[in-house]
Amino acid sequence: MLDCIEKPENHCVYFDNFFTSSDLLIHLRNLGFRATGTVRENRDSDCPLLSSNELKKTVRGNYNYQFDKNGEVLFVRWHDNRCVTIDTNFDQVEPLGAATWYSRQASKKTQVQQPAVLKSYNAYVGGVDHHDWLVGKYATVMRGKKWYWVIFICMMEMALVNAWLFYRLVHGKNAQDLLDFRRAVTVTYLKLDTGRPNIGRPMEYPSSQLRVILDIRFDGIWNTHQVS
Question: Domain-by-domain residue ranges, the chain?
Answer: 8-125, 129-195+207-225
- Ranking 22-26, 182-186, 215-219 by mean pLDDT, the lowest is 215-219
pTM value surpassing 0.85: no
pLDDT tens for 79-97 read 988 899 999 999 999 999 9
pLDDT tens for 131-150 read 888 888 888 877 777 888 88
Give a three-class secondary structure readout of the chain.
CCCCCCCHHHCEEEECCCCCCHHHHHHHHHHCCEEEEECCHHHHCCCCCCCHHHHHCCCCCCEEEEEECCCCEEEEEEECCCEEEEEECCCCCCCCEEEEEEECCCCEEEEEEECHHHHHHHHHCCHHHHHHHHHHHCCCCCCCCCHHHHHHHHHHHHHHHHHHHHHHHHHHHHCCCHHHHHHHHHHHHHCCCCCCCCCCCCCCCCCCCCCCCHHHHCCCCHHHHCCC
pLDDT tens for 24-45 read 999 999 999 999 999 988 887 6
